[in-house]
Structure 1
Amino acid sequence: MLTIRLLGVPRLERDGRPVAGPRGRKAWALLAYLLLAGRPPGRARLAELLFCEAADPLGALRWTLAELRRALGLPGMLGGDPVDPALGADVTVDVYLGAVDYPCMDGELLEGLVVESCPEFDAWLAVERRRVAAVAEARLRQVALALLTSGRAGAAVPYATRAVALAPLEQGNHELLVRSLAAAGDRRAAAAQVEACADLFRRELGVEVSAALRDAADARPGAVGVPAIGGRAAAASQIEAGRAAIAAGAVDAGLQCLRRAVAEAERCADTALRARALVALGGALVHAVRGRDEEGAVVLHEAIQVATGAGDRVGVVTAYRELGFVEVQAGRRGTADGWLAKAHHLAETDGELAAVLGVRGMNSSDHADYPTAFGQLHESVERARSCGDDRQQAWSLSLVARAHLLRGDHSPAIVAVQRSLELVHEQRWIAFLPWPQALRAELDLQAGDVERAADGLEQAWAMAVQLGDPCWEGMAARGLGLLYAGRGDHVAATGWLTEAADRCNRTPDRYQWIRAHVLDTAITAALDRDDADRARPLLAALQTLSARCDLRELVVRAALHSARLGDPAALNSARLLAADIDNTELHRLINT
């Protein structure tokens, strides 16, 4: 068995023992690119990427491929044009391993490797290092959550600790570690971790940690902190009362009802009822209250275990979907798709499939896989229509509109967002209204209807602030920044874009795509007025965020901003990174 180690100093192992690797840094660079590129690359592209300085670039590529076959002991592999990266069943690659192998995740991708005179490869490697680190972090989190909610909190601690080490400024990782320590009975260590995180965030970010982190020090899986209240019938009524209260905006009262329902169902040893209560509570923590996604994920993991034991297929599907939604918002693309694929496999009804496909389409769209996103979202819309779920229709249509807007397809974007708005008004779904309002206003702004755009953005902003939703606040404030920039009022534009960045980043469970989208707009505005000093720190943040969250289109836009700031290799890097993104507007930007 051959193992290829790309994390840390690159090396090969055969049957667990080190063996000689290929000669030359470019051989390792080529191997990594072949294994991690999104699709098999052509030989001309590889020669240009890594061997453009050679007298015979294609000849240098042939020699390096031959050297890789020799070192790997695979004479029949890495052939063809494009080059086939498949290496066979007897070869494992550490970046593909699961989080159970977390000790092997130490070190960054191709640590210490420097390839001279290959700026495009350097740009690709910088993006991949961030992305691979985020994949490792996501895998570690999933194992820690699974161990924590299965009663093995002590075993969860090393995984959560490693996730914190990989991303120390993500509060969710600290919260997961604190919950694991507390559930393992080490309250002193849990409290110390809270204070360590609080000190780090004050020093590095100038912010205070959320109440959710401090509450986690006293939490354990299944703990609800409320007394039982009187039997199965009472528990069932508490579920309905909790849902109704949350729908009416009384979130705290609704959560209290749902926690009581969980406690009573557990006391009655009614697993089916407890599964229902846990799914409802987990969903409410994710959607109805900000800053509680980590707690919601813990509850949803427990809900899956209980619902599976109770034979509650619907509950399992819902919990899988909600966990997928949490991961999509956090930009953990692979783990999101894992949860959503499980939900899709078990879903049976049009309503279930519409909801799952809507979140899958959101994930694909964030990843800039537009053909897949449109397929998933349109199917979601049709299934929602067939079962009369107007809210799901509105939700999925708004994402169809967003994808068309990003691609510069104005007419289909208008059709989709207008229908979304009609459904939202029919349903009186005020909590969702600012999102399609902001999208419609941006389309009006692009069409030159400034007055209508201003009205729509002001309404979206006012409603978002009333709702206290950081995502909607960020989108509306971003739109107002665009509005004022178009009017030539750069002071007001900068103020609104700064407000947008602050608003969408004020909770630990933020929607990372919106955060990156706001950064991209703020950088563009700064560069349009030749304010490089303001643009550079924003660009550094966008480069890190977009790479970590695999927001491919925003990775490309970050490269285009770098080109505007004078990086001579950035434009070619943008072309490389955008090669398989189906977005004519993005390619127009690259070629202008």
Structure 2
Amino acid sequence: MLMIRLLGPPALERDGRPVRSPRGRKAWALLSYVLLAERPPRRKHLAEMLFGDADDPLGALRWSLAELRRALGVPDVLSGDPVAATLGDDVVVDVHLLTSAYADIAPLLDVGGELLEGVQLTSCLEFESWLVVERHRVSTTVEARLRQAAIALLATGRPGEAIAFASRAVARNPLEEGNHELLVRSLAMAGDRTAALRQIAVCEDTLRRELGIEASAALQEAGTAGSGSPMVPPLSGRAAASSQLEAGRAAIVAGAVDAGIQCLRRAVAEALRCRDAALQGRALAALGGALVHAARGRDEEGAVVFHEAIQLATRTGDRATAVTAHRELGFVEVQAGRRKTADTWLAKAQDLAETDEEFAAVLGVRGMNASDRGDYPAAFEHLGESVERAGHCSDHRQQAWSLSILARAHLLRAERSQAAAALARSLELIHQQRWMAFLPWPQTLRAELDLCAGDFDGAADGFEQAWVLACQLNDPCWEGMAARGLGLLNAGRGDHRAAMKWLDEAAFRSNRVPDRYQWVHAHVLDAVISTALDDDDPDRARPLVVTLASLAARCDMLELVVRAHLHRSRLGDQTALASARLLGAHIDNPVLTEMLADSGPTRRMS
């Protein structure tokens, strides 16, 4: 068995022993690009990217491919045009092995260095841009796998084993509060309260020092986690558990979040006491949904609860609860920008789904994930089917939700008539259902359409209504989107001071909880940067571009990675435009295509 190691210093191993590696850094660059690129690359593209300075770029590419075949000991691979990445069953790539959702979790604890550690090709700027993005993507995928391993171990009652995986997640990304919370929860559930309190202090100091923010209340609460599912003094019997489950659901719908969560915790505890595993699974799924959707900063606990629900639903054959829990775990991962693990959970949910209602909900989240990634064809396919299935089963809230995400995709592509039609139907359904908790999102999108059409008064009404309701709901996502809109409105009116005040507020609001929706946060940053550059304020824009580029790469939001490169080009980076065109070549967005075509040499902003 041949192992290709791309994490850390690149190397080849056969049956666990080092063997001769291919000569030269460009050979490793070529191999990694072919193995990890989204689609098989054309030879002309590889030659221009890696061997553009050679007298015969295609000849240099042929020599490097031959060198790779010799080193791998497989004569008929890496051939054709485009170059195929099929290596055979006897060859394993560490990145593929570690990032697969079905691979053994133990090797995750031994992952150390970054992708192609020590490899730098300063003369190949397009490859360097790709490598920076890919390093972020791979690192985030490994981090997500570590988190999923820790959560799964917690859900199956093995917190002592979860500690190692949670610790590695913290080490990979110490600025993510959720990783610290997961470690604190693991330590507390393993009975080591002293270590849990120590980790809380470490997290608080780190966030305060590095980000200038305070940790959320959820971090402290994680330190009080018990050694099992959340327990509240039980009532009596299965009827009491069912009653608490229904009361909890009703309280959540009515907006009494804390009371609802307490009822759901009692339902879980009582179902456990009377040994009704099926009822306990349903109660856990309801509790997880409340923690993720109704509470703020509780996604980590919600994920653990959903894992427990899946365990029980699988054991009792409760397919419907399993679909719900898998879908909700996918939603948590989508919001966090962990695309690969999101796809895994959502694919499992879709495999289990049977009814129109189940398919509509799963496909809606899959469409959201594809749209966040910038994969518009997949987004339109998933969201279109979600809307259709939701209509068939009269699930009007799901239909309104999916229509709003569909409208967002059309708006990002400047397809304003299609966006307006989707939003009109979404808003009609929301008002029919009196779904005020969701109203600010489509209101903001509708107001942005008015702004694009030059209707400043209509836009102002829409953004202001959305802002007021978002603040009443205490929803950071809706607050961030509405404040962003008010910032763009003031920029359009020529009031730069008011515009930047609102955009700064949007950046704060969209980032004020640990379980933020990363796409909204990045979307807001993109607006702040664009507005600052339009007003000749490069000093404000420059550090935010670095933040946006890192966030977008880490969360696999390729369209926003490209936009970060375009901002760098406006700031005078002479290599950024070529990188943007390389990375954006396969994004099907007419707006972005026009931006890439129109961008040319710009004056350096200083």
Normalising to structure 2: TM-score of the pair?
Answer: 0.97
- Where does 1:301-340 land on structure 2 (aligned, <5 Å)? 301-340=307-346
Structure 1 distance, partners of 2:408, 2:110, is: 39
Q: Distance in 1 between matches of 2:226 and 2:3?
A: 39
* Match in the other structure for 2:248: 242
Q: How does 1:165-314 map to 2 (within 5 A)?
A: 165-220=171-226, 222-314=228-320
The C-alpha deviation readout for 1:227-280, integer Å capped at 9, x for no partner, is: 101211111011111111111111111111101111111111111111111110
Structure 2 residue 359 is matched with structure 1 residue 353? yes
Query: Are 1:100 and 1:143, in contact at CA under 8 Å, matched by a contact in 2?
Result: no
2:97 maps to 1:91: no
Residue matched to 2:114? 108
Whether the 8 Å contact between 1:344 and 1:356 is mirrored in structure 2 is yes
Matched residues in 2 for 1:579 and 1:92: separation? 29
Q: 1:536-558 CA distances to partner (integer Å, 9 max, x unpaired)?
A: 11111101100000001001000
Among 382, 406, 410, the alignment partner of 2:412 is 406
For 1:569, the equivalent position in structure 2 comes to 575
Alignment correspondent of 2:15: 15
CA contact (8 A) 1:221 1:302 kept: no
Q: Which residue of 1 aligns with 2:78?
A: 78
- Equivalents in 2 of 1:54, 1:273: separation in Å? 68
Structure 2 residue 138 is the aligned partner of structure 1 residue 118? no
Q: For residues 588 and 79 of structure 1, what CA distance do their matches in structure 2 show?
A: 34
1:463 aligns with 2:444: no
Cα RMSD after superposing both structures: 0.9
- Give runs of aligned pairs for residues 513-524 of structure 1, distance below 5 A: 513-524=519-530
- For 1:448 and 1:304, how far apart are their aligned partners in 2? 50
Q: Which residue of 377, 380, 388 corresponds with 2:386?
A: 380
What secondary structure is seen at the aligned counterpart in 2 of 1:226?
coil
Deviation at 1:104, TM superposition (A): 4.1
Cα distance, 1:221–1:302 mapped onto 2, change above 3 Å: farther
State the alpha-carbon separation in 1 of the partners of residues 409 and 567 from structure 2: 21
Alignment match, 1:69: 69
Q: Aligned residue for 1:46?
A: 46
2:506 to 475, 483, 500: 500
Partners of 1:123 and 1:573 within 8 A in 2: yes
Q: Which amino acid aligns with 1:57?
A: P
After superposing the two structures, state which structure 1 stretch, 99-108 or 197-206, moved more.
99-108
Q: Deviations over 1:342-401 (max 9, x none)?
A: 000000000011000000110111111111111100000000000000000000000110
Task: Say whether the 8 Å CA contact 1:239–1:258 is kept in structure 2.
Answer: yes
Separation in 2, partners of 1:69, 1:393: 52
1:487 — aligned with what? 493
> Is the 1:397–1:419 Cα contact (8 Å) retained in structure 2?
yes
Q: Which runs of 4+ in 1 moved over 4 A?
A: none
1:85 CA drift (Å): 1.3
SS of the equivalent of 1:97 reads helix
Q: Deviations over 1:286-332 (max 9, x none)?
A: 00011000010011111111111121111111000010000000000
Q: Distance in 1 between matches of 2:26 and 2:529?
A: 34
Counterpart CA distance in 1 for 2:255 and 2:427 is 21
**Distance in 2 between residues matched to 1:113 and 1:15, nearest whole Å:** 25
Contact 1:221–1:299 (Cα < 8 Å) also in 2: no
- AA at the equivalent of 1:279: A
**3-state DSSP of counterpart to 1:591:** helix
Confirm or deny: 8 A CA contact 1:391 1:427 kept in the other structure: yes
- State the distance in 2 between where 1:229 and 1:509 align: 33
Maintained 8 Å contact 1:230/1:264: yes
Gapped runs of 5+ residues in structure 2? 99-104, 599-606
Amino acid corresponding to residue 486 of structure 2 in structure 1: L
Residue 367 (1) aligns with residue 373 (2): yes
Contact map agreement 2:480 2:507 (CA 8 A) in 1: yes
In 1, the alpha carbon distance for the partners of 2:397 and 2:308 equals 27
Q: Residue 191 of structure 2 aligns to a residue in which SS?
A: coil
In the alignment, the residues of structure 1 paired with residue 125 and residue 535 of structure 2 have an alpha-carbon distance, to the nearest angstrom, of 28
- Contact 2:189/2:228 (8 A) holds in 1: no
In the alignment, residue 276 of structure 1 is paired with which amino acid?
A: R
Deviation, structure 1 residue 223: 3.6
The structural deviation recorded for 1:87 is 1.1
Per the alignment, residue 57 of structure 1 pairs with 57
1:220 offset after TM fit, Å? 3.0
1:103 Cα deviation after fit: 3.6
In 2, Cα distance between equivalents of 1:138 and 1:419:
36
DSSP-derived class of the 1:115 partner? coil
Q: Write out per-residue CA displacement over residues 141-166 of structure 1, whole angstroms, 9 at most, x where no aligned residue.
A: 11111111111111111111000011
- Which residue is equivalent to 2:603? none
Residue ranges of structure 1 left out of the alignment (5+ in a row) = none
The answer on whether the counterparts of 1:222 and 1:299 sit within 8 Å (CA) in structure 2 is: no
CA distance in 1, matches of 2:46, 2:144: 30
What SS class does the counterpart of residue 427 from structure 2 fall into?
helix
Say whether the 8 Å CA contact 2:109–2:165 is kept in structure 1. Answer: no
Q: 2:589 aligned with 1:583, yes or no?
A: yes
**CA offset at residue 140 of structure 1?**
0.6
Assess if the C-alpha contact under 8 Å between 2:170 and 2:176 holds in 1: yes
Shift of 1:116: 3.1
Aligned to 1:28: 28
Looking at structure 1, the residues matched to 169 and 386 of structure 2 have their Cα atoms a distance apart, in angstroms, of: 34
Q: 2:544 aligns with which of 532, 538, 557?
A: 538
Can you list the C-alpha shifts for 1:129-182, whole angstroms capped at 9, x where unaligned?
111100100011111111111111111111110000111000000011111111
How many residues are matched? Answer: 592
**Which residue of the other structure, out of 128, 136, 147, is the alignment partner of 1:130?**
136
Shift of 1:221: 5.4
Distance in 2, Cα, partners of 1:169 & 1:20: 39
Q: Could you tell which deviates more after superposition, 557-566 or 90-99?
A: 90-99
Q: 1:144 maps to which residue?
A: 150
